[in-house]
Amino acid sequence: MNRIFNFGAGPSTIPLSVLEEAQKELVDYKGEGLSIMEASHRSKMYDEVHTEAMALTRELYSVPEDYDILFLQGGASLQFAMIPMNLSIGGKAQYVDSGSWSSKAIKEAKIQGIDYEIVASSKDTTYDRIPSDIKFDDNADYAYITSNNTIYGTEYHEFPTTKAPLIVDASSDIFSCPIDWSKVDMLFAGAQKNAGPSGLTIVIIKKELVARAGDKVPTMLKYKTHADKDSLFNTPPTFGIYMFNLILHWLKDNGGIEAIQEKNQTKAKLLYDAIDNSNGFYVGHATKESRSFMNVSYNIKNSDGENNSQLESKFAKEATEAGMIGLKGHRSIGGLRASIYNAMTLDGVQALVDFMQKFQKENS
């Protein structure tokens, strides 16, 4: 097999050893005579996977005991609606707008007609940074941030402090670095970047927030429904949770969250250095202080400093031919983007850096 390097933003690369393990036991799970995806969600065979995935999430991510871990569906996009539904209790909700995904979350607060406010935004500078001077009202029903902005390649390196419950959309950087839970009251993510195939949403939420929702919230959209039943109220996405569990094992086998953070920093440094040392041929979208360890968004510039979209297209095309896919930037800002999630290897980033240097020589 000629395995490619997948720099796509999500669904994204999965550790090869995890895929191989899933392949090995896909038809006959541990000699049980059936696939894990055929097993009842009430069976002992599946329950072990489910329970283990919850326990490993708690262990690896150091989740305190007063938080519930939920396995839901619908992606982060459904969380945008569930958050105001469950957590708005007549007060004000406060949001930071750091990009497309924050904007989508804010839109759902608006649709539901709750009292909401944007306390900081970097929209004016094409979301090239995490807004500074974020001041949440300690009395807000909740305060909301997007920890990593997949499209613009920005990431919080420290979370703002507030007495209001802080909600973090960590869809594109979950499990990439340790979390200071004293600052965070709820963290959620679609699985398809750092935690497996799409179709699973992980929600880690303080028990006191779970209890907030009123009687008018539909059963399936209420955190309490799922918390009360260990996410087995209805049939969960069992195969996705199985894959997630394999990934957690891989994380643990490779030293856990601190070790993956170090690896992520090494990978990101390699790539940002290549950009910074290109004499202005490659220019990062994000300001240096706000650079993401997960998504590196950048442009190819003409000598006059303008983006060269023709060369960017050529780059993406030739990179694909060289076995590196998913490097085209998001349609909203164009350019190039390399997503270097937990499962992207250092070899992959090195191959990209080598290709960038070769491409620059040939095209400048």
Stretch in the footprint of its own copies (CB under 8 A) among 89-97, 107-115, 177-185, 281-289: 107-115
Residues 149-168 that bind its own copies (CB under 8 A): none
State both tokens at 132.
């500074």
Residue type, 67: Y
d(CA 354, CA 217): 53
The least CB distance from residue 341 to its own copies, in Å, is 11
Peptide bond into 11 cis (omega under 30): yes
Does the footprint of its own copies cover residue 219 (CB under 8 A)? yes
The least CB distance from residue 263 to its own copies, in Å, is 19
Distance of CA 306 to the CA centre of its chain: 30
Between the two ends of the chain, the Cα-to-Cα distance in Å is 34
| Chosen residue from 237, 284, 329, 348 binding its own copies by CB under 8 A | 237
Does the footprint of its own copies cover residue 3 (CB under 8 A)? yes
Residues 271-300 that bind its own copies (CB under 8 A): none
| Chosen residue from 67, 75, 98, 294 binding its own copies by CB under 8 A | 75
- The nearer residue to its own copies, 184 or 205, going by C-beta atoms, is 205
**CB within 8 A of 186, min separation 6: which ones?**
83, 87, 142, 165, 166, 167, 168, 203, 204, 205, 206, 209
| Chosen residue from 70, 243, 268, 271 binding its own copies by CB under 8 A | 243
Residues 36-65 that bind its own copies (CB under 8 A): 37-41, 43
| Chosen residue from 51, 125, 234, 309 binding its own copies by CB under 8 A | 234
Q: 43-79: b or e for each residue (b if 16 or more CB lie within 10 Å)?
A: eeebeebbeebbebbeebbebeeebbbbbbebbbebb
CA angle 338, 341, 346 (to 5 degrees): 80
Does the footprint of its own copies cover residue 345 (CB under 8 A)? no
Q: Is 101 a catalytic residue?
A: yes
- The nearer residue to its own copies, 71 or 152, going by C-beta atoms, is 71
| Chosen residue from 30, 33, 65, 124 binding its own copies by CB under 8 A | 33
- Smallest CA-to-CA distance from 147 within 193, 194, 181, 98 is with 98
Residue type, 125: T
Asked if 297 and 333 count as a contact pair (C-beta separation under 8 A), the reply is yes
Does the footprint of its own copies cover residue 34 (CB under 8 A)? yes
| Chosen residue from 91, 178, 323, 334 binding its own copies by CB under 8 A | 323
Question: Which residue, chain included where needed, has tokens 């406010």?
Answer: 117
Q: Among residues 97, 128, 169, 185, which one is catalytic?
A: 169
Does the footprint of its own copies cover residue 12 (CB under 8 A)? yes
Residue type, 192: Q
The least CB distance from residue 181 to its own copies, in Å, is 27
Distance of CA 325 to the CA centre of its chain: 19
- The nearer residue to its own copies, 83 or 96, going by C-beta atoms, is 83
The least CB distance from residue 10 to its own copies, in Å, is 7
Does the footprint of its own copies cover residue 327 (CB under 8 A)? no
The least CB distance from residue 60 to its own copies, in Å, is 22
Stretch in the footprint of its own copies (CB under 8 A) among 8-16, 162-170, 249-257, 279-287: 8-16
Does the footprint of its own copies cover residue 80 (CB under 8 A)? yes
Distance of CA 244 to the CA centre of its chain: 14
| Chosen residue from 326, 329, 335, 348 binding its own copies by CB under 8 A | 326
Q: Among residues 97, 101, 141, 250, which one is catalytic?
A: 101
- The nearer residue to its own copies, 51 or 219, going by C-beta atoms, is 219
- Smallest CA-to-CA distance from 339 within 5, 3, 4 is with 5
Q: Is 206 a catalytic residue?
A: no
d(CA 347, CA 6): 12
d(CA 260, CA 141): 34
| Chosen residue from 30, 90, 113, 158 binding its own copies by CB under 8 A | 113
Count of other CB atoms within 10 angstroms of residue 229:
12
Q: Is 169 a catalytic residue?
A: yes
What residues act catalytically? Answer: 101, 169, 193
